[in-house]
């Protein structure tokens, strides 16, 4: 089924793009409205999976269709997704930088529509160009190059609507806390962490929670507050004290996030954080990897170091 998926993305008409993005958006909104996903619940921007049998986590793709197809093949995605108790979770940053953002968008929408209870689509900073504009957002140009100005603008508007339906945080089996970028640093967000994530997009003009979930990076920070301004010019660097507090408050054992190119993975904050990265086209000096782990193994998880045996590289 992989080659047909790739072919469908490459050959899709403007109308087919509009339809698949619209259907995926409707599916995401329906799950928010019903608050339901198999084996868990959807609370606004927070997905809480209670009983995943197996979990596959895919991080930043940045328009790298080849890496996506290779990861799906390695997972045997049709068999994996046929069981709604399994979860394939994407950490965001589907678009920009690479050569086939449209192919990746079409494919993840197709997967969500075909397997709504098995696929979780999270929002990355590259899926928030309206809230936090940035210079490397080339998606609209890619769309207009392919479909022309009129149809291209309609598709881009539809995609922006879908971006707003993506979620910002995921809990897996009370063991993993998944975000795209990092952890919010304000004590107020931590004190009611579920609500702060669940309402991140609704409140993005009132607080920094969405910005920090999408843009923050873990670092060694010596300040008393546990954070410092990010060199990105948006978001913050957060220290291990922030991570420790979030793990304690949420009752989870490890944070899994993306957002930064690395050699497939990186461990931060004394084994509390696993950074995962899943593309190479736009970052040829780095490796691509994904994570696949059973729920039984998660039950014995102590920290992020215990996940390393389940990180799979694309060779």
Tell me the pairing of strands 265-268 and 273-276.
Answer: antiparallel
The number of beta carbons lying within 10 Å of the beta carbon of residue 90 is 30
The per-residue pLDDT of the chain, averaged, comes to 97
The number of beta carbons lying within 10 Å of the beta carbon of residue 203 is 16
In angstroms, the CA 211 to CA 309 distance is 31
pLDDT tens-digit profile of 256-303? Answer: 999 999 999 999 999 999 999 999 999 999 999 999 999 999 999 999
Closest CA to 238 of 222, 221, 255, 253: 221
pLDDT tens-digit profile of 148-198? Answer: 999 999 999 999 999 999 999 999 999 999 999 999 999 999 999 999 999
The CA-atom distances, in angstroms, between 158 and each of 21, 99, 126, 182 are: 7, 20, 16, 27
- Parse the chain into domains and list their residue ranges: 2-177+255-313
Options 3.40.640.10, 3.30.360.10, 3.60.21.10, 3.10.20.30; CATH of 2-177+255-313:
3.60.21.10
């Amino acid at each position: 089924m992989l080659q047909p998926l790739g072919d469908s993305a490459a050959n899709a008409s403007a109308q087919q793009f509009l339809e698949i993005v619209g259907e995926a958006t409707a599916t995401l909104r329906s799950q928010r409205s019903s608050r339901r996903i198999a084996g868990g619940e959807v609370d606004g921007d927070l997905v809480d999976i209670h009983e995943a049998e197996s979990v596959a986590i895919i991080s930043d793709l940045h328009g790298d269709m080849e890496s996506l197809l290779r990861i799906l093949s390695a997972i045997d995605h049709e068999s994996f997704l046929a069981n709604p108790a399994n979860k394939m979770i994407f950490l965001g940053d589907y678009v920009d930088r690479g050569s086939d953002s449209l192919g990746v968008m079409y494919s993840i929408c197709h997967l969500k529509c075909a397997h709504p209870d098995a696929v979780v689509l999270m929002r990355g900073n590259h899926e928030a160009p309206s809230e936090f504009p940035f210079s490397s957002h080339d998606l609209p140009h890619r769309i207009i190059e392919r479909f022309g100005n009129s149809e291209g603008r309609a598709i881009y508007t539809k995609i922006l609507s879908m971006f707003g339906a993506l979620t910002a945080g995921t809990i897996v089996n009370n063991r993993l806390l998944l975000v795209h970028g990092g952890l919010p640093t304000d004590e107020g967000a931590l004190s009611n962490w579920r609500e702060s994530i669940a309402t991140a997009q609704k409140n993005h003009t009132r607080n920094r929670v969405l910005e920090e979930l999408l843009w923050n990076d873990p670092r060694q920070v010596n300040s008393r507050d546990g954070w410092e301004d990010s060199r990105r010019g948006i978001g913050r660097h957060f220290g291990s004290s922030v991570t420790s507090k979030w793990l304690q408050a949420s009752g989870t054992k490890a944070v899994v996030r993306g957002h930064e190119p690395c050699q497939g993975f990186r461990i931060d904050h004394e084994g509390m954080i696993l950074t995962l990265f899943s593309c190479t086209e736009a970052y040829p000096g780095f490796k691509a990897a994904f994570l696949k782990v059973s729920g039984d193994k998660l039950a014995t998880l102590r920290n992020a170091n215990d996940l390393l045996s389940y990180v799979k590289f694309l060779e």
